[in-house]
Amino acid sequence: MTLKLYNTLTRCKEEFKPLAPPLVTFYVCGPTVYDYIHIGNARVFIVFDVVRRYLNYRGYRVKMVQNYTDIDDKMIQRAREEGLTVAELAHKYITAYEDDAARLRIRPADLQPRATEHIEPIVKLIQRLEEQGLAYHSGGDVYFNAGGFPGYGQLSHQAPDELLAGARVEPGEWKKNPLDFTLWKGRKEGEPAWESPWGKGRPGWHIECSSMAMHYLGETIDLHAGGADLIFPHHENEIAQSTGATGKLFTRYWLHAGYLNIEEKKMSKSLGNVLTVRRLLEEYNPLDLRFFILSAHYRSPLNFSRELIGQARAGRERLQEFVDNLYRALPGAGTETTGLEEKIRSELISAWRRFDEAMDDDFNTAAAIAVLFELAREGNIYLQKGHPYQRELLEQLLNYFREVNELFEILEIRKPVSLDEELRRMIARREEARRKKDWALADHIRNELQARGIILEDTPHGTRWKHKPGR
RNA sequence: GGCGACAUAGCCAAGUGGUAAGGCAGAGGACUGCAAAUCCUUUAUCCCCGGUUCGAAUCCGGGUGUCGCCUCCA
């Protein structure tokens, strides 16, 4: 089986062949830490974390770098608004990011460098561009000479003159050409600044990513990812800077995640519909958010609404229920067989294959999740008809879900905790009442337990309980 | 204006040539003291019009509609 992925640069699904397998070098454009991250950011980080996990699962050794942009115009402006220094602001929102990401079960990249800690390699890269005649010093700033780089526009598939039509020059800029962009900004009063051959100043936005990507991962990296809105100008400019300096192919495969819209509209400050992860986590289970995001293909636009999260939650709970029921069936299981086991085992093998095929096809998480639903249905048939259950089979199913969950992390896979003495006694009293067909008392106790978050289910093989699903 | 994406059941969403996965919601049924959970059954002229093909949701052309990028943005 071969892994295929869609490369924005070629606009084709291509077979994935890393430069130096099993190593895969992977750079993801991280957050500008001037605010809490929103659900659209979260989609990008969740999706590419899953990509990384899947590559690991496929036997690659992934080296993943995700940066923090901790100096730029937005940082400076926001720091003023909040009455903090830029460094304090960065610290505040990096901490917030780490917290939000952890709650969303996003695993940190192997390296999370900050722009301000890499001024030296950034300066060196700009110097290399100067040597190539691709950078010029003008009005205190240093600009990239876009016209001097023949491949400009290759990622966004636009000819330079077409891009020019929409380009603008901000007041106070000293560009020779509207497509040129800042590599180094000269210091203005009250702004953080670092020493450089061009005087005090700070790096431009695009150069930090080129610099850090190459610094940690080499001049040609395998994978480079971000939101679709980074295609132009950010990633276009990264290519121009990197290849401009080295003469080498910068990124072999470009991956871009689709937008997440709110109620059919793009999220934007001006519409006032930006949903921060922080805010959403007050209301929703993080696993529901992950399930929702992974239930669509990563490149498709995805609409966010209360109703859609509700649908996702209901679906996820079905899978969660199955896993919980496997656990609950385990204590009574043994070596007896009912003849159903072979059928379920072959379903498991089939699911395994189809799951991998789906993921090999440009990380089709939606199709992969469908496979899990089908396996859960087969498993439920076994739980319904296979009593007293073969322990080995239950464990195989559980192990498979555990393995898949290492990739998606959409389920809690853990043994049910035991209830405290008082609740256990209530359940026993209800059992007694049911034996005596005292339905009024039995139902009363059941309601009582429900009010305390415990749901009872009477199965042919005894009563079982579960916690009321959260949120 | 340039570039591009998308249009599949009430809702969400896979599927890129061989007569439509999966989920949610709904309806009916089985099981249950009642529930819950689960299982079974059930719901699609694949936006429209042409064309290519033995055969198209899938390819080509033309419409229509929605959205995005071209400007900070994940």
pLDDT 10s digits, A70-87: 999 999 999 999 999 999
Q: How far is CA A258 from CA A51, A251, A263, A299, in A?
A: 15, 20, 15, 4
Q: How far is CA A392 from CA A164, A345, A398, A400, in A?
A: 65, 10, 10, 12
**CA of residue A3 to C1' of nucleotide B10, angstroms:** 37
pLDDT at A175: 86
- Closest residue to B36 (CA to C1') is A457
Q: Is the peptide bond before A18 cis (omega within 30 degrees of 0)?
A: no
Q: How many CB atoms lie within 10 A of CB A318?
A: 14
Please report where in the chains the tokens 């957050």 appear, as a residue: A31
- Nearest nucleotide to the CA of A42, by C1', is B74
Q: Which of A359, A379, A377 is nearest to A368 (CA)?
A: A359
Q: Which of A224, A198, A194, A221 is nearest to A126 (CA)?
A: A198
Through-space distance between the first and last CA atoms of chain A, rounded to whole angstroms? 40
- Nearest nucleotide to the CA of A11, by C1', is B4
Residues of chain A with pLDDT under 50: none
Based on C-alpha coordinates, what's the Rg of chain A? 27
CB A46 within 8 A of CB A104: yes
pLDDT at A182: 93
- Nearest nucleotide to the CA of A383, by C1', is B38
User: What sign for the dihedral angle of Cα A331, A337, A338, A339?
Assistant: positive
**CA of residue A229 to C1' of nucleotide B66, angstroms:** 19
CB A212 within 8 A of CB A113: yes
Rounded distance between C-alpha atoms, residue A243 and residue A125, angstroms: 11
- Nearest nucleotide to the CA of A362, by C1', is B14
Rounded distance between C-alpha atoms, residue A175 and residue A180, angstroms: 6
**CA of residue A73 to C1' of nucleotide B21, angstroms:** 47
Which residues does residue A254 pair with via DSSP β-bridges, in sequence order? Answer: A224
Nucleotides in B strand less than 7 A from protein CB: 1-6, 11-16, 21-25, 31-40, 66-74
pLDDT at A265: 80
At a CB cut-off of 8 Å and minimum separation 6, what does A220 contact?
A19, A248, A249, A250, A251, A252
Give me the helices (H) in A58-201, please.
73-82, 86-103, 119-131, 160-166
Report which residue type is found at A366: A
pLDDT at A39: 94
Torsions phi, psi for A137 (to 5 deg): -100, 125
- Nearest nucleotide to the CA of A161, by C1', is B2
**CA of residue A401 to C1' of nucleotide B29, angstroms:** 31
**CA of residue A216 to C1' of nucleotide B39, angstroms:** 54
Which residues does residue A182 pair with via DSSP β-bridges, in sequence order? Answer: A143
pLDDT at A165: 66
- DSSP assignment of A328-346 equals HHGGG-BS---S-HHHHHH
pLDDT at A471: 54
Q: Which of A49, A36, A34, A27 is nearest to A90 (CA)?
A: A34
pLDDT per residue as tens digits for the range A179-195 = 899 999 999 988 999 99
A409's torsion region: left (phi>0), alpha (psi -120 to 50) or beta? left
**CA of residue A233 to C1' of nucleotide B71, angstroms:** 10
CB A254 within 8 A of CB A368: no
Rounded distance between C-alpha atoms, residue A460 and residue A280, angstroms: 40
ipTM: 0.95
- Nearest nucleotide to the CA of A73, by C1', is B72
Torsions phi, psi for A175 (to 5 deg): -70, 150
Rounded distance between C-alpha atoms, residue A78 and residue A84, angstroms: 8
**CA of residue A134 to C1' of nucleotide B56, angstroms:** 50
**CA of residue A148 to C1' of nucleotide B50, angstroms:** 47
